[in-house]
Amino acid sequence: MQPTATVLVYSDDANTREQVRLATGKRPAADVPPVEFLECATLPALIEALEQGGVDVCVLDGEAVPAGGMGVCRQIKDEIFHCPPVLLLMGRPQDAWLATWSRADAAVTHPVDPVAFADALAGLLRRRLLADA
């Protein structure tokens, strides 16, 4: 059986979480492992999941309420030992400077463009796999 990569998806919006799942499919690229999703709708659930470990990449919704993904990204980069790479969903391209401030490893705009999203996620998974090798 082929190993899988765990992608944590944080958004208070079930539709956004579904867009991420659909854009990813079974795997975002042929050279990365199949993906399994761990979904979190609240900040406490996200922190608990990260503390348990086993997450390869986080996808954070910058528009999540009440704790937006940009602030959450900065928080987990400070608080989680060996924090996994973060792909941030931004509301507008003009928010790229905020993605940089949050220390996100990659960012794409929302609504989710399946091609751009899959490319960004596959890049972070490749980087994570190389770091673990």
For the chain, domain boundaries? 5-132
Axis crossing angle, helix 114-132 with helix 14-24, rounded to the nearest 10 = 70
Got the DSSP string for 51-119? HH----EEEEETT-SSS-HHHHHHHHHHHSTTPPPEEEEESSGGGHHHHHHHT-SEEEETTT-HHHHHH
Q: CB-based contacts of 107: which residues, under 8 Å, 6+ apart?
A: 87, 88, 89, 90, 95, 96, 99, 120
pLDDT the model gives residue 42: 97
User: Tens of pLDDT along 44-58?
Assistant: 999 999 999 999 999
Contacts of 26 (CB under 8 A, 6+ apart): 34, 35
The pLDDT of residue 1 is: 44
Q: Which two tokens stand for residue 131?
A: 């770091």
- pLDDT at res. 128: 84
pLDDT beneath 70: ranges in the chain: 1-2, 133
Nearest partner of 87 among 9, 2, 33, judged by Cα: 9
74-85 pLDDT per residue, tens: 999 999 999 999
The predicted model scores a pTM of 0.95
Q: What is the CATH number of domain 5-132?
A: 3.40.50.2300
